[in-house]
Amino acid sequence: MFTTLPAAFQEQPPASTQSQSGWRIALLTAVAAVAAISMIPFVYLLVRASDKPIDEIVQLLFRQKTLEVLATTALLVICVVAINLVLGVAIASGLHFVQLPFRRLLVIPAVLPLAIPSYVFTYTWVALVPSFSGFAAAVFILSISTIPYIILATLAGLRSIDGSQIEVARSLGLNPRQTFSRVVFPQIRGHVSAGALLAGLYTMSDFGAVSLLNIETLTVSIQNMYRASYDRSAAAVVSFVLIAFSILFVLADESIKGKSTQSQLLKSHSVKTPLVKKGYLRFATVAIITAFATVAVILPFYVLLTRFFSNPVAIDGPALVSATISTVSVAAFGALIALVLSAPLGLLLSGGSSRFANVTNKIVVIAHALPGVVVGLALVSIGSKLGPLYQTTFLLAFAYAILFLAKSVTSMSSSLARVPNSVKDVAATLGMNQWAVVKKVIAPIAAPGIGIGTILVFLTAMKELPATLMLRPTGFETLATQIWSFGSINRFNEAAPYALILVLVAAIPTFLISRPDKDTHSYELESTRGQK
């Protein structure tokens, strides 16, 4: 008598279940690899910091100099984020709610400062006002550099609101201020917080502007420790202060998002946001955008053009072309690596809450706050042991991917989350395996949003300075390194051609991010999210 059924007759798990299990294992393995890659700078810092005795670490952390630098960094971040919240939300709200001439085209000058690195802003303003320096100058430069993050994030949130809710609020007698505070802002709080997080992390990790303006932040302090005494252990210890500050910022962002009211209403193309036609609001919106565009776009372009045409030194054409090609190629390579690394984590995050995915995402976001010099030091240390990979464009592009992976992951996860579950279910019932569903169904729908995230990584990588200075191959010059080489010795006329080309090249992806027809695509994406 058989005590067990023969193998051929034993109950087998469905093929679809086996396929899903295999897909899940592969996805988790890939995410674990992304987490390990993102941890490279942290592991390096831990190893370096452990070289110092505990008493020296405590003394270094609590010395007056470190506390002063921390206070300066914190105050700078607070001031920049506060200005961003006021001006960024005001500009985005005006662009979305107020009836303006050429309303969609006005988005372009509002976000075009994304194309200009903070150190180029500083260079142009120092050229205009030689005494331009100090804390207030740093707040000004970093504010105009990061306000576009708030504008784009707020606009994305405003486009997700059903216009009928605002009509109901108005019918109940709420004025515009009450409508915004009670109906609109609770629904966009998470988007605004995301923009503030990007602005804050950018401010924490900035090196070029603050160093040119003689403000010692944590990033500058780390760079100085590395350059002056080559004390990498001390630099690693101070880097953990920056990481702790970043963690607090990320936790504050999560707390704000947790309180956000998520709209569950189906987005409809027929229910558009009613436009406000009041004259004073139209004037105020146009005046704010004009003032912002003047200080953040027109004046910098004016300085670059005048310096370019008044340059008494002949422009080195081959060097300019070579630097441009190097900048575009290595930034594109870094954006491609970031796209590949973000795919598994984006898929896992889009499928629902997971502690493993959330922890990995936090690691990626905190790595975004690390200054380029920290990532550069980590990869220099590791790359020197990898032989052929050391001082290659691949290692530099890999550094870009680690630094800006958070941007790609955010875009990837949000775009994938907008794909309706019903579409994926139909594809599965037609016999497609998980890989086929991703390739033929999910990827085409999510591609526009993913593309925007990849463009943003490409744009940011072109402007990266500290990591480029440390990891570039011998003789490899980018537009950023050439600007820094000439600008740091006050040869502004010779830096102008490189700065102008960098801004013009970066303006192309910036235009793609803020293209005037984006409203239509955004509404379509929001409508698919409501169908999930």
pLDDT of residue 144: 94
Q: Give the least confident one: 43-57, 116-130, 210-224, 272-286.
A: 272-286
Can you read off the two tokens belonging to residue 460?
A: 């940011």
User: pTM here?
Assistant: 0.79
> Which of 44-48, 119-123, 247-251, 341-345 shows the lowest mean pLDDT across its residues?
247-251
Q: Report H helices in 50-63.
A: 54-61
Res. 79 pLDDT band, cuts 50 70 90: very high
For the cut 60, the answer to whether the pLDDT of residue 506 exceeds it is yes
pLDDT tens per residue, range 514-532: 664 454 344 333 333 333 3
Intrachain domains 62-257+276-309 and 314-523 with the same fold: yes
What would the mean pLDDT of 477-487 be, rounded to a whole number? Answer: 85
3-class state of residue 245 by DSSP: helix
Answer yes or no: are the C-beta atoms of 308 and 495 closer than 8 Å. Answer: no
| Domain chopping of the chain, boundaries | 62-257+276-309, 314-523
Structure tokens at 146: 């990061």
What is the fold, at CATH topology level, of the domain defined by 314-523? MetI-like fold (1.10.3720)
Contacts 24+ apart (CB under 8 A), 134-140: 134/213, 134/214, 134/215, 135/72, 135/75, 135/76, 135/215, 137/213, 138/76, 138/209, 138/210, 138/213, 138/215, 139/76, 139/79, 139/80, 139/83
| Residue 136 pLDDT level (bands cut at 50, 70, 90) | very high
Residue 311 has pLDDT above 70, yes or no: yes
The mean of the pLDDT values for the chain is: 79
How does residue 25 score in pLDDT terms, banded at 50, 70 and 90?
confident
336 versus 261: the higher-pLDDT residue is 336
97 versus 90: the higher-pLDDT residue is: 90
Higher pLDDT, 233 or 125: 125
Q: Which two tokens stand for residue 97?
A: 């709610």
What's the whole-number mean pLDDT along residues 191-206?
86
Query: Which residue in 304, 286, 361 sits closest to 494, CA to CA?
Result: 304
> Does residue 314 surpass a pLDDT of 80?
no
Give residue 481's pLDDT.
87
For residues 406-434, average pLDDT: 72
Distance (Å, whole) CA 455 – CA 511: 10
From CA 238, how far away is CA 383, in angstroms rounded?
23
Find out whether 378 and 359 touch, Cβ atoms under 8 Å: no
d(C-alpha 207, C-alpha 223), whole Å: 8
What values do phi and psi take at 101, rounded to 5? -70, 130
DSSP H helices in 62-184: 64-97, 107-111, 118-128, 135-158, 163-171, 176-179
* DSSP result, 8-35: GGSPPPPHHHHHHHHHHHHHHHHHHHHH
Per residue, the 3-state secondary structure of 481-511, as one string, reads HHHHHHHCCCCHHHHHHHHHHHHHHHHHHHH
Which residue did the predictor score with more confidence, 307 or 488? 307
* DSSP assignment letter at 39: T
Give residue 391's region: left, alpha or beta (phi > 0; psi -120 to 50): left
Residue 483: pLDDT band (50, 70, 90) is confident
Burial class (CB in 10 A: 0-12, 13-18, 19+), 429: exposed
Q: Is 512 exposed, middle or buried (0-12, 13-18, 19+ CB in 10 A)?
A: middle
User: Over 60: is that where the pLDDT of 476 sits?
Assistant: yes
**220-255, pLDDT tens digit by residue?**
888 888 776 666 788 888 888 888 888 887 788 777
**Which amino acid, residue 217?**
T
One CATH from 1.10.3720.10, 3.40.605.10, 1.20.1740.10, 1.10.10.10 for 62-257+276-309: 1.10.3720.10
Q: Are 516 and 107 in contact (CB under 8 A)?
A: yes
